[in-house]
Amino acid sequence: MAQTLSSATPTMWQDNIASSGDRRGIRGRPDWSDVLFLVVLALGAAYALNVYSTSMDYYEKIILVAFVPFVAWLGWLWRPLRTLLVLSGLTALLAVWLYSTGDGLGTGDIEKADSVFLLKYLFSSQSAILWMCALFILATVMYWAGFFSNTAAWMGSGLTWAAIYAGMTGLLVRWREGHLLGPDIGHIPVSNLYEVFVLLALITALFYMYYERRYNTRALGGFVLLAISSLVIFLLWYSFTRDAHQIQPLVPALKSWWMKLHVPANFIGYGTFSLAAMVGFAYLVKENGETRSRAKLIPVFLLGAILCAEPMIFGSRELSPTWMLYFGIGSVIVGTILYFRGPISRKLPSLEVLDDIMYRAIAVGFAFFTVATVLGALWAADAWGTYWQWDPKETWALIVWLNYAAWLHLRLLKGLRGTMAAYWALGGLLITSFAFLGVNMFLSGLHSYGEL
């Protein structure tokens, strides 16, 4: 496969997708259910403004009001998202009600998380997030089993949706649990490494599920869920070794409405970049599926092994048995995928489709990462009096931005596609990972809020 696809190719495969792709659940003309969804969102926002207005400043109220049409629009664009939000919201309300029942005041008691059956085993934030982790692992297994059974692939999709539902519910309930601990403790759950790892897993999975439906393929699930499973393994390790799931008060610098915009936008970028990297991996497997030369696969294996080796340095410069085992298993998985690249490649979508998903993911991620960087600069000016200080986190955010800006520039102006684009997307995950975690581990600065 040449590194540059012909300019006529995109039209052909787009026609094929339009004629044969499963587009159920994707944008249609607005109907009564879209209007009902908008009304429900508006009523919820009105209730929040009426009951909790004293807890919100002027800007937070604007964000809440703007949230209503924005989410209604997203629900119209992709209707499965609407179903997810309704189910997660109703479950979170059930959990809030369980916390508030029995005290006669309706204020709630956080201790009920250990005594009420549904909270203890299902709907408290920690229980729901643990269910999310288990379901993502099971989904990964089912997706790979799906290369031999269509039923298993279908179960992989279902388990992924169940994991997203559990994680979304967990974050919503965690928001309420913070307020039950104290009026100065409650905050939107995107403030520390534990919370943003949950958010990153959910965003990556949601974007993948969109592309799975759009392109009518489940074969990519095993690749993308490997990245999400890596996040889950870190999350479990971080939670149980550092007690990271405990809700803590915000540090002064994070007590800002800017966080509600900057962090989600930032992690949409991280999530879509992760998705693009795994699609790039799938592209290289597909491209080399029929070749007998193993030399071409050495760079792919090395990139995969390096990505697997990154967690070995979490928390210490010393080698950890836990992460040595993780690295070993990860390298074996990458090597096994490459060894069985022939049968795997025959199940994967065409190279043109893989290339398009990779491009779309990076384009969306770049747009949101750009917005997040601008919002971060405005937040810095508000908090520290200057837009840019060349703090290590700021510097590496710029490096990430330049990396994907160059990828898109060469794509749009020079026709970058194929092998080089896939290697670049996979290697870009290394840069993104260091900007996300490496800066916190090795470089002190104004953004060192998470410790490993």
For the segment 336-371, what is each residue's pLDDT rounded down to a tens digit? 998 898 999 999 999 999 999 999 999 999 999 999
| pLDDT higher than threshold 50 for residue 7 | no
User: What Rg value do the Cα atoms of the chain yield, rounded?
Assistant: 22
25 is a domain residue: no
Structure confidence at residue 59 (pLDDT): 84
Task: From residue 170, give the alpha-carbon distance in Å to each of 133, 186, 245, 351, 372.
Answer: 11, 15, 11, 37, 24
Select from 259, 209, 296 the least CA-distant residue to 22.
209
Please tell me the pTM assigned to this model.
Answer: 0.90
Mark whether 69 and 93 lie in a shared domain: no
179 is a domain residue: yes
Q: Which two tokens stand for residue 46?
A: 């009105």
Mark whether 280 and 393 lie in a shared domain: yes
- Rounded to 5 degrees, φ, ψ at 275 are -60, -45
Question: For 299-310, b where at least 16 C-beta lie within 10 A, e where not — what string?
Answer: ebeebbbbbbbb
| pLDDT higher than threshold 90 for residue 5 | no
Mean pLDDT score, 122-149:
96
C-beta separation of 187 from 123 below 8 A: no
Select from 75, 70, 28, 68 the least CA-distant residue to 46.
68
| pLDDT higher than threshold 60 for residue 66 | yes
User: Distance between CA 193 and CA 245 in Å, rounded?
Assistant: 10
10 is a domain residue: no
Mark whether 287 and 422 lie in a shared domain: yes
Between 228 and 256, residue with greater pLDDT: 228
pLDDT, the chain, mean: 85
Pick from 99-113, 303-317, 426-440: least confident: 303-317
- Rounded to 5 degrees, φ, ψ at 126 are -65, -40
Structure confidence at residue 443 (pLDDT): 64
Task: From residue 341, give the alpha-carbon distance in Å to each of 273, 357, 425.
Answer: 23, 20, 19
- Out of 77, 105, 134, a domain closes at 77
Confidence of residue 4 (pLDDT cuts 50, 70, 90): very low
Highest-confidence segment of 42-56, 116-130, 284-298: 116-130
User: Distance between CA 120 and CA 115 in Å, rounded?
Assistant: 7
- Length of the chain equals 452
C-beta separation of 417 from 411 below 8 A: yes
Mark whether 263 and 376 lie in a shared domain: yes
User: Distance between CA 422 and CA 354 in Å, rounded?
Assistant: 9
- Out of 239, 267, 297, a domain closes at 239
Mark whether 101 and 54 lie in a shared domain: no
Mark whether 217 and 259 lie in a shared domain: no
| pLDDT higher than threshold 80 for residue 25 | no
Mark whether 401 and 438 lie in a shared domain: yes
Structure confidence at residue 432 (pLDDT): 92
Q: Report percent pLDDT > 90 for the chain.
A: 52
Q: For 71-89, write each residue's pLDDT tens digit.
A: 999 999 999 999 999 999 9
Number of domains in the chain: 3
Structure confidence at residue 179 (pLDDT): 86
* DSSP conformation class of 26: B
Mark whether 180 and 310 lie in a shared domain: no
Full residue range of the structural domain in which residue 113 is found: 85-239
Structure confidence at residue 8 (pLDDT): 38
Task: From residue 218, give the alpha-carbon distance in Å to each of 118, 139, 183, 302.
Answer: 33, 11, 45, 26
Mark whether 346 and 281 lie in a shared domain: yes
Mark whether 98 and 210 lie in a shared domain: yes
Mean pLDDT score, 160-186:
92
